Structure 1
Amino acid sequence: MNQSLALSLLKSGRNVFLTGQAGAGKTYVINQYIQWLRSCDIPVAITASTGIAATHIGGVTIHSRAGIGIKDRLTDHDMELIQQKEHLHKNITKAKVLIIDEISMISANTLDMVDRVVQMIRRDGRPFGGLQVILVGDFFQLPPVMSSQDANNTKRFAFAAKAWKELNLAICYLHTQHRQDEGDFSIVLNELRKGQASQESIALLRTRMDAKITHTNPVKLYTHNIDVDRINDEKLEELTGDEKSYIATGAGDKKLLDTIKKSMLAPEVLYLKVGAQVLFVKNNPVKGYYNGTTGEVVGFVAGSGYPLVKIANGDVITAEPEKRSVENANEIIVSVTQIPLKLARAITVHKSQGMTLDAAEMDLSKVFEPGQGYVALSRLKSLESLKFLGLNESGLNAHPLVARGDDYFWNQSELLIEQYGTRTDDIWDELHARFVELIGGTYTKDVTEKSKVMLSDYTYKGKTSKKGLKAVKDTYATTLSYITRQMPIADIAKIRELTPGTIRSHIFKLHEQDPTLDIAYLKPESSLLNLVQSAYTKAKQQSKQDISSKDIFTLLNGTVSYEDIKKCLLFIE
């Protein structure tokens, strides 16, 4: 299923299981849906199975939201205590939609407990008290943590829950893979998903044992925290120079704030030195980094002290504090602000889930869970960016029950494509409007118009074709369609599989041909723009004919990143 059809089904009010292999765009689709819900004034409860997963989507753990903590069963007394908690009543009764991300790490028993609590608090006997429920994840990812005697229990997985069956979920299995290119590595990963790795694929993986990779200082992946902590501490200690520290700040409920700080990917206290290898733990397409982007600290900004991070493409990014807010029913209940970095000479496979890594050295000799090997390998874009430090081949196997379940999910998704794939936009609009009205939201056609810009609907002053048309339906027009949706440059580049520089050149050309084209949403802050404008003017006074971003970077002594300079140049005459 493509992302567009999945999003249409979500907007129709169906309970949905959104799945697909790593890199298929599950997080992208769910973030689009969350934005749409908020634009329709629909309160949404955003949750995930773990604190790390919740960090990725701006939510809290489902255990916290439902008040069940780490319990594996609920007694009548437990239910009475939960019933008395006013904040749970407020959070659960106000929401109209419940999202649970990384569902693979939730057991059947836990899902049933959440269902029981929500029905009780909402005083509604329907599944999850009548909420629209969106379950997101891939069961080939990490499974729930359970005792050894329960590890092979079929109830380990959420799809065995009574609540799962009662939800009557529409299965949206995303087909397109956006992380790895088609080729040998993609074939290997698909075979691992099916639990049917061929001898050819295993042999191909063996060639990466102690292999050479061209990436400088690749991230090391281990299965255990003790290895990761040791390596990161040792590498930071080896570096000379002053150590800088950055302490996370927060606001909101103290108990929840403490929980959020412990579950953040960025540490509560971040220690850095020049030369430290780091990775970004948040997506910021405007600034040019994503969760998993690696780099090296090359300096610190004078005054603010913010770290300057040089990433793989050569750009130097100023890593500024970012706020992570947790919302309930569209209200911010707690927020934490920290530099979105962590030391990354080594990380655990568990914490790498959800990331895209440029390169990695992996020690999979101590794999102890089904799915760990697949999670680690699927972080990468290509086989050439992989080096094994150790490999337990049995750890690459998927759980057989998961493989069988995946076949079922795929087939159910294909049936939905046959049933709904040919519906027109008008029919979908009617369904979406009906759902919004039903749950008390605000729906206008304008809410979704920006996501439906057709190339034929927009013209600009270009060369006239043989048919006398002004609209040039080529690569520029494709970029134009995304600009009219006010999509960030980095997102356009990622979708179109082009570089941000290429997209910026398109925008220069489009704006030159049509000065009325609205690109104001891309305009940087005035302080940054003024700084770059001053350097640009100075470079002009030095008789420079064609001013490059490197000229400005040099004049500013590296205090402004190349990415920020290039953004400013869009608005400098």
Structure 2
Amino acid sequence: MAAVDVQNTAFLQAVSFVNHTNRNLFLTGKAGTGKTTFLKYIQQHSYKKMAVAAPTGVAAMNAGGTTLHSLFWLPFGMYIEDYELAWDDHDSHIYNRRRLFGKVKLTKQRRALLQEIDLLVIDEVSMLRADTLDAIDTILKNVRRDARPFGGLQVLFIGDMYQLPPVVREQEREVMSRYYPSPFFFDAKVLRDQPPVLLELKKIYRQSEQTFIDILNDIRNNCCTSEQLDVLNTYYNPDFMPAKDDPYVTLTTHNHRADAINKRELEALPEQTVTLEAKVSKDFPETLYPAEVELRLKVGAQVMFIRNDSGDERRYYNGKIGYVKHIDSTGDVLMVEFKDGTDAVTVKREEWENIRYRYDKVQDRVEEEVLGTFAQFPLRLAWAITIHKSQGLTFDKAIIDAGASFAAGQVYVALSRLRKLDGLVLHSRIPSHSIRTDRQVADFSKATPADEDMPKILEASQRSYLGHILLHSFKWDRLVEASQGVLTDLESRNIADQAAAYEFLQTLSIACRAQREVADKFRNQLNGLLNKEGESDYVKIHERTEKAVAWFLPRIEDDLITALDAHIAAWTIKKRTKKYVEELKGLYVDFKRKKEQLTQCLIIAEALAKGDALQEVMGKAERLNAIEIKAEELPENIGKPKVVKGETKRISFDLFQAGKSIDDIATERGLTRNTIIGHLLDFIGRGVEAHQLMDAGKLDTARKVVQQNPGKPSSVLKAMLGNEVEYIEIRIAQASLTR
């Protein structure tokens, strides 16, 4: 990915809201303003544990995530929390709170995931219904044991409300109107008291023609003039038929119309039809298919790419039109040529993945588990496509054929796919009534804060987030629940010395609850200091935090970690204890992570007390988003000789000095390459040179950016440097400058 446009203030503010606050955010913007680019950037440049989802299967595939229904195991139907169900089946499509939890099956792993993610990204939010969002809120509050919206989880909504609206079936419309002002997500009950921050991307990258930009803006804002409508309708040409080599695509409202046009044009070609079968592996439901299972092509067929080139050369993009030049006899390779002067490309099957998110407790990160794959050529016939499926695509030439069936949002979606007006042909006139904008959408969009107010809102949100981090570090509920859970499960186990194990776990659980009582009292004090009128007294907050951490650390170490260490070592060698010991190891990781949390939060409190720049403090806070337990601390190594603090780094350094490469050291020690580099960072200037750890050219570039932006957090530096420089390389540059 190229470096971010550092002149795009809204984009950079949105990054800071996501990475350095816990505010819910709605990122919107006109077509072509970079919403998809932002999503991909956040996926690659956020420290937070995230899950990406969308309302539909196609949108989820395009976003590189999963569907909301799959992530939350939602039943299909309408959710009304306090709906009074009838005795007959006429309301079987409606779910109240009780029926919802009767259908949602949350396993231990699913609960762990929903408890641990820091950020939920919902793409194409214009299609998300208000009742679906309320169902998600209900589940999250229950699983996370938190009464705040979404159980305290940060939600990033991405989309354009002027595009395709939610689908509400006729049988649902009357009932829904009694509970919701509109079906749009922003009218969900969960958002009524605490709406998300609205941030709009305004810089348009798709169009550059001002007349066209003005028309699109006025269509969005419901103020398109008759003169502007006349300009659009000058492109009305009902008899227009493009030349065979002129890459026009027809945008229409219905699938059957698009299919008929594509079938007609394909049959008109003289060549033989070749059917290219998709290769579906394991679990990949038909509802998620991103391409045709049977792709019927001929040499000469007009096709469109349906995803960006995954190679380094970026030879094609999602929406680029070309023509089939050659189809290999094996059916595994074909060639596509273009009329814009670019070179023909060889195309092979691309693979889409159906993923499921899972939480890795040891690494403290959310991982993607591939359930199945779908491999097919990233192409579709492109004489015609529905307006719905064109969302997110860019065309140079298009024929809009919507007849009298224009709906709110469809005119805007169709027109905004084009780069310029001179690429437009209308097969039917656009009447004034078809460019109306939904009133609720227009009213909601007016709530966007003024540009000059956004920096203040961001700074206040960042300070609030730092306070949240401090408070969360002293939240003991998870430890109490985890220890009690192991104790409860023990009752149904048949293990050696069960009575002794039960007695130990009771003692451990009592110790956790006793620590929680003290932690809750301190949280109340800390909350008062953070929320008192006027500026927070960070010096006093640091003093109190320092005393609290000094009280808790030895008790966590002695009463929880050391005690559990000895118990695991003793029960590992007993009979029938394998599953029991695995549960104990998970609990051990929880204790270790809480200890590290307290250490890190003290660093934040100290930085605030010293008056460090806010961006510098935010950089320190990033480390708390994913606390990895080091290899020598993993439960698998309990009972083995402990590595003295600092010794593990010295071991890596000694091996490096002996002439071994970083990859060789990582393999020998069973650690990652970046972990080894992290060890060697401490020895820069003391036997290790920075250019030995990274490319000298990239080092010079990174050093200049770090020097020019003192105190900036690594995520901001990363945005400036782009995808060529990794986070670990930024740390190398920083270390080389300070030493």
- Tell me the residue number matched to 2:159: 137
Q: Structure 1 residue 195: deviation in Å?
A: 0.5
Matches for 1:167-566 after TM superposition, within 5 Å: 168-210=195-237, 216-252=246-282, 254=283, 257-258=284-285, 261-284=286-309, 286=312, 287-301=314-328, 305-314=332-341, 315-325=343-353, 326-328=355-357, 329-334=366-371, 335-393=373-431, 394-409=433-448, 411=449, 415-417=453-455, 419-420=457-458, 427-438=614-625, 440=627, 485-486=722-723
Question: Which amino acid letter does the alignment assign opposite residue 233 of structure 2?
Answer: R
State the TM-score, normalized to the length of structure 1: 0.72
SS in 2 for 1:288: coil
Of structures 1 and 2, the one scoring higher in RCO (CA 8 A, sep 6+) is: 1
One-letter code aligned to 1:431: M
Match for residue 540 of structure 2?
Answer: none
Are 2:102 and 1:65 equivalent residues in the alignment? no
- Shift in CA distance, 389/88, structure 1 to aligned 2, threshold 3 Å: farther
1:17-75 Cα shifts (integer Å, max 9, x gaps)? 111111110111111111123xx4x4321101212211211112212222223211223
Query: Whole-Å Cα distance in 2 between the matches of residues 101 and 291 of structure 1?
Result: 17
The residue number in structure 2 matching 1:516 is none
Worse-matched range after superposition: 156-165 or 186-195: 156-165
The 1-side partners of 2:614 and 2:348 are apart by 44
User: Relative to structure 1, is the Cα distance of residues 455 and 331 closer, same or farther in structure 2, using a 3 angstrom cutoff?
Assistant: closer
Residue of structure 2 in register with 1:14 after alignment: 23
Q: 1:383 to 1:69 in 2, by over 3 A?
A: farther
Alpha-carbon deviation of 1:116?
0.8
Query: Partners of 1:15 and 1:177 in 2: how far apart?
Result: 24
Unpaired runs of 5+ residues, structure 2, are: 1-8, 80-94, 358-365, 463-611, 630-673, 679-693, 706-717, 726-739
Name the residue aligned to 1:27.
36
Provide the residue aligned with 1:549 in structure 2.
Answer: none
2:577 matched residue in structure 1: none
Structure 1 Cα separation of the partners of residues 32 and 700 of structure 2: 26
Distance 1:166 1:268 in 2: 46
Report sequence identity in percent: 31
Q: Label 1:367 to 1:160 Cα distance change in 2 as closer, same or farther (>3 A).
A: same
The Cα shift of 1:336 comes to 2.3
Structure-2 separation of matches of 1:219 and 1:237: 17
Q: Are positions 1:128 and 2:163 aligned together?
A: no
**Which of 37, 40, 52 is the aligned partner of 1:46?**
52
- Cα distance, 1:110 vs structure 2: 1.4
Do the aligned residues in 2 keep the contact of 1:232 with 1:346 (CA within 8 Å)? yes
The structure whose residues are more often helix, as a share, is 2
| Separation in structure 2 between the aligned mates of residue 59 and residue 17 of structure 1, nearest angstrom | 18
Kept after mapping to 2: 8 A contact 1:142/1:369? no
Give unpaired runs (5+ residues) of structure 1.
460-480, 489-573
1:508 corresponds in structure 2 to: none
> 1:154 — aligned with what?
181
Q: Provide the C-alpha distance between the structure 1 equivalents of 2:323 and 2:405, rounded to a whole number of angstroms.
A: 29
CA contact (8 A) 1:358 1:380 kept: yes
Residue 224 and residue 67 in structure 1: after superposition, are their counterparts in 2 closer, same or farther (change >3 A)?
A: same
Once residues 455 and 435 of structure 1 are traced to their aligned partners in structure 2, the CA distance between those partners, rounded to angstroms, is: 23
Deviation at 1:242? 2.9
| 1:49–1:63 Cα contact (<8 Å) kept | yes
Residue range with higher mean Cα deviation, 166-175 or 64-73 = 166-175
1:234 to partner: Cα distance: 1.8
Report how far residue 142 of structure 1 moved: 0.7
> Contact 2:198 / 2:447 at 8 angstroms: preserved in 1?
no
1:117 aligns with 2:117: no
